[in-house]
């Protein structure tokens, strides 16, 4: 039996699952694919359940395990999954929390559409190669483009089952890019230039999903972002608010993980490998303005401060913003 069930598959879900387990609270992280299972290390307090579930299967799972709390930290575009989780939790009379991901910034150069079908309708009237970064689930829609086998380059998860399904649709060879993110600005730029793409199709996956890096890369390569809009707004809480909610509900103290990182001669090129790993993991970057600008990623919250007392006070008053 688990006190908490987290529907994960996102960076928020992974972070919450590991936080709960670290506080000696039993948690089951539910992920759709084997990749999600690999991202989490199972422990005596953290179990991982792999595979998609219908609403009925969720209801059976809840009845069997009798959790105290359900946390839905699935992707903002997983509308049907969220609907099923919420419905199954309500029928089982279990506490339910939806964790929401902040929207990304808007781009004046982007084309905004409501669906993959609308993206394809727009692209039919254009010329030039297309980098599609919305995954494999709706990739079949892009086969409606007359010359998709030459023009479309699909970036999908590096899973054998995903690669097979893409090949069945006609995406193979150089037009099928099987890689696991998150992708840096430099990586996005390199792909757009390598395949001479004039369009980048993406969803607004927010800062945590690398959305801003995609927009910046498109701007650097003079490519047009085609953004599939989010579903209607939901009620829920942010990742940090959920951390505070869990601490209050289960009576534990949030203790941020803090790393002190030297940045060499002041550019990202001179960082050590360990420094790069720590900075990539961080949710919050604190430092003098020049240093923060040199190393922070678009998705990371930044606080410009160099005085030790002020830094310590900020961290103490925002323990949920971790790693720092």
Please state the rounded mean pLDDT for residues 206-222: 89
pLDDT for the residue numbered 296: 86
Which of 34-38, 199-203, 285-289 is least confident?
Answer: 34-38
H helices of 92-158, where? 116-123, 148-151
Over the chain, what is the mean pLDDT?
91
User: Is 90 exceeded by the pLDDT of residue 319?
Assistant: yes
Q: pLDDT confidence of 229, banded at 50, 70, 90? A: confident
pLDDT in tens, 128-180: 999 999 989 999 999 999 999 999 999 998 889 999 999 999 999 999 999 98
Residue 207 confidence (pLDDT) above 80: no
Residue 88 scores a pLDDT above 70:
yes
What pLDDT is attached to residue 37?
67
Can you tell me the distance from the alpha carbon of 125 to that of 16, in angstroms, rounded to the nearest whole number? 43
**pLDDT tens digits, 246-272:** 999 999 999 999 999 988 776 777 888
Work out the pLDDT band at 300, boundaries 50, 70, 90.
Answer: confident
The residue-averaged pLDDT of 89-113 equals 89
pLDDT tens digits, 25-50: 999 999 987 766 677 777 889 999 99
Residue 96, C-beta contacts closer than 8 angstroms, at least 6 positions apart: 69, 70, 72, 85, 86, 89, 90
The helix (run of H) or strand (run of E) holding residue 49 is strand 46-50
Q: Say how far apart CA 305 and CA 309 lie, in whole Å.
A: 10
User: Nearest CA to 219 among 196, 191, 200, 195?
Assistant: 200
Residue 128 CA: distances (Å) to CA of 53, 125, 158, 192, 196: 39, 10, 26, 12, 8
Task: Give the pair of three-digit tokens for residue 173.
Answer: 């060879």
Q: Which of 6-15, 27-36, 261-270, 292-301 has the weakest average pLDDT? A: 261-270
* pLDDT recorded at residue 36: 66
- Output the pTM of the full model: 0.77
Where helices occur in the chain by DSSP H, the ranges are 11-22, 34-39, 55-65, 79-91, 116-123, 148-151, 160-169, 185-194, 211-220, 239-250, 273-281, 289-295, 308-317
Tokens of 223: 């490519």
Cis peptide before 323 (omega within 30 of 0): yes
- Statement: residue 298 has pLDDT above 80: no
């Amino acid at each position: 039996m688990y006190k908490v069930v987290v529907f994960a598959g996102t960076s928020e879900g992974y972070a919450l699952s590991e936080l709960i387990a670290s506080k000696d609270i039993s948690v089951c992280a539910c992920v759709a694919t084997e990749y999600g299972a690999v991202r989490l290390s199972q422990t005596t307090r953290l179990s991982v359940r792999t595979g998609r579930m219908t609403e009925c299967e969720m209801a059976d799972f809840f009845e069997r395990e009798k959790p105290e709390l359900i946390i839905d930290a699935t992707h903002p575009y997983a509308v049907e999954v969220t609907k099923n989780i919420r419905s199954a939790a309500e029928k089982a009379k279990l506490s339910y929390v939806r964790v929401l991901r902040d929207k990304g910034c808007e781009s004046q150069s982007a084309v905004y559409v409501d669906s993959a079908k609308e993206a394809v309708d727009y692209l039919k009237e254009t010329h030039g190669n297309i980098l599609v970064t919305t995954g494999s689930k709706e990739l079949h829609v892009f086969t409606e483009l007359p010359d998709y086998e030459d023009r479309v380059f699909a970036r999908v998860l590096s899973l054998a089952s995903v690669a097979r399904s893409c090949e069945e649709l006609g995406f193979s060879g150089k037009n099928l890019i099987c890689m696991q993110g998150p992708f840096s600005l430099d990586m996005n730029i390199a792909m757009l230039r390598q395949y001479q793409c004039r369009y980048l199709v993406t969803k607004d996956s927010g800062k945590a999903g690398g959305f801003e890096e995609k927009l910046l890369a498109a701007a650097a390569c003079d490519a047009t972002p085609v953004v599939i809009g989010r579903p209607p707004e939901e009620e829920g809480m942010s990742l940090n608010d959920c951390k505070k909610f869990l601490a209050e509900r289960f009576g534990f103290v949030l203790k941020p993980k803090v790393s002190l990182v030297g940045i060499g001669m002041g550019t990202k090129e001179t960082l050590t490998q360990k420094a790069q790993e720590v900075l990539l993991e961080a949710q919050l970057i604190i430092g003098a303005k020049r240093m923060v600008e040199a190393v922070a990623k678009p998705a990371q919250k930044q606080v410009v401060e160099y005085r030790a007392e002020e830094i310590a006070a900020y961290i103490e008053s925002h323990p949920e913003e971790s790693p720092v």
